[in-house]
Copies of this chain bind each other. A is one copy, B any other.
Amino acid sequence: MNKTIFPVKEKINTREHYLKVKQYLPPAKIAGGILYHRGGTTHTRDDTDVELDFRQESNFAYLSGVEAAGFHIVIVLETDTIYLVRPDIPKMEQLWKGIPEPDAALLERYSVDHILLDTQLKQFLHHLEPTVILTLDITNIDHDIYIPIAFEKRINRDHLKAAIHEARLIKFPWEISLLRYAAQMSSHAHMSLMSYCGQKYRQGQRINEAELEARFRWICSKNGLSRQCYIPIIASGPRAAVLHYTNNDKLIPNNQHALVLADAGGEYRCYGSDVTRTFPVSTRFSDEAKAIYDIVLKAQNAVLARLKPGVFWKDMHDLVVHILCNELVKIGILVGEEEELLQLGVYRAFYFHGNVGLDCHDVGGKDTNIMENTRKGFPLHLLQKPLDENMVITVEPGLYFNNVSIDAWTKNPDYKRYFDMEKIDQYRVIGGVRIEDTVLITRDGIENFTIAPKQTQDIEALMH
């Protein structure tokens, strides 16, 4: 691992992030008000003493830059004075967990004004006597231990979250460098899966989905992406049609049609990536697989070519749907006039999720009722506002031969005449295809952070 290639910057811009958040806070709350947020704490599994892997809560990571557990942040809004509150670790615990960093190092790295101990926090808040405490309502974070009961009525959970989400939507240059790095290294891990899979195929060795997941995590980790942004999806054969398949425990089929759909992205210092590649187990796309693959790629390329500030998500969604529908007619899976088919929404038998989502699903109308909206045909993660410079988004069209979905449409007497079952059976064997890139919206287009190949011939070349 070459440490020097990591985009590490030791000084974190706590102040820059906070000042941006402050812009979105109601001015009436500033005088006498404070911002208070508690970072994540470590947990143990069930009733055991097995400590669970810790990952900082995202809003706290944004506000403070601190990736370790047990910290808090207090900011006096009027004076912009930032207090970082660190855990007071007893001497005996230091024996087991190590000596904490000195305050001087924390002050320097996080560019905050003061360091406090958590054991001093309650007293300190008493002393501050804030008129309002702007905070977040995050699961599993218990504020009561630290905020004096007398201040309970001054706690305001309405404004801070919206302000942070607004601030997080447009990325700072440093954030962009982290996101770029995460997507590029994840791309390398995807390329490694392709070449590894090809090598094993040529050696006549069968492999398990679990081995590909393990390899993906290893390539990410050794480049500093120690956590995954989400549970990887390594779906081979028919499982490629299951959008959130995460079992990753089946032997990979080695017939000529079989594909591996790998949807996985590593996370670097809490900044994620979201990448999907689909490749043929046998190192060559079958004719059917190539036909479906190229439709999805065409749809993705059409979107990528049009993305820029001012573009609306919904228009991109419509563009994808138009291309998919049109192409499905061409290869004979859908039967009828394109206009009517679009109107009826029958393409949703093969395409039932949104195509453009904000990276990590972090902001912009997060969907709390995924299934319900999918049923209604609404795409997920609907971003209402137009795209803007320095947003980071994903573009992820797909086509899926999912039996639950196909049955629901083709067995419905109102719709069955729009489907050619023989053609469906011919293509059903390939499972599904998704191609997903993480891209930055630039001044006049995009920078695609995702550098793993997408053309069928390039994938085949990498696998040989």
Q: Decide: A231 and B46 in contact? CB cutoff 8 A.
A: no
Q: Decide: B138 and A47 in contact? CB cutoff 8 A.
A: yes
Q: Which residue of B lies closest to A141 (CB)?
A: B46
- A352 and B207 CA atoms in complex are apart in Å by 45
Q: Does A243 contact B (CB under 8 A)?
A: yes
Instruction: Mark contacts of A45-62 with chain B using CB atoms, 8 A cut-off: 1 yes-contact digit, 0 otherwise.
Output: 111111101010110000
Residues of B within 8 A of A48 (CB): 58, 360-362
Q: Decide: A213 and B221 in contact? CB cutoff 8 A.
A: yes
Residues of B within 8 A of A220 (CB): 214
Stretch in contact with the other chain, from A86-94, A112-120, A383-391: A86-94
Residues of B within 8 A of A243 (CB): 95-96
B-contacting residues of A (Cβ < 8 Å)? 1, 3, 40, 45-51, 53, 55, 57-58, 90-99, 136-141, 206-208, 210-211, 213-215, 217-218, 220-222, 224, 226, 229-231, 239, 242-247, 251, 352, 360-362, 366-367, 370-371, 374-375, 402-405, 408
Residues of B within 8 A of A55 (CB): 45
Residues of B within 8 A of A242 (CB): 95-98
Residues of B within 8 A of A402 (CB): 95
Q: Decide: A222 and B215 in contact? CB cutoff 8 A.
A: yes
Q: Decide: A46 and B361 in contact? CB cutoff 8 A.
A: no
When the two chains form the complex, which single residue of B210, B215, B404 contacts A94, counting CB atoms closer than 8 Å? B404
Knowing that A95-B352, A95-B405, A97-B245 touch, tell me 8 more A-B residue pairs with CB under 8 angstroms.
Answer: A45-B55, A46-B141, A50-B230, A51-B246, A91-B408, A92-B375, A96-B371, A217-B218
Closest 3 pairs (CB-CB, A-B):
A214-B221, A218-B218, A98-B242
When the two chains form the complex, which single residue of B137, B138, B222, B361 contacts A211, counting CB atoms closer than 8 Å? B222
Residues of B within 8 A of A91 (CB): 404, 408
Q: Decide: B50 and A360 in contact? CB cutoff 8 A.
A: yes
**A368 CB to nearest B CB, Å:** 8
When the two chains form the complex, which single residue of B49, B139, B251 contacts A46, counting CB atoms closer than 8 Å? B139
Q: Which residue of B lies closest to A228 (CB)?
A: B53
Return 13 A-B CB contacts under 8 Å, by A number.
A1-B207, A46-B140, A49-B361, A51-B230, A53-B53, A90-B371, A92-B375, A95-B242, A97-B242, A97-B245, A213-B221, A214-B221, A217-B218
Residues of B within 8 A of A46 (CB): 40, 57-58, 138-141
Residues of B within 8 A of A58 (CB): 46, 48
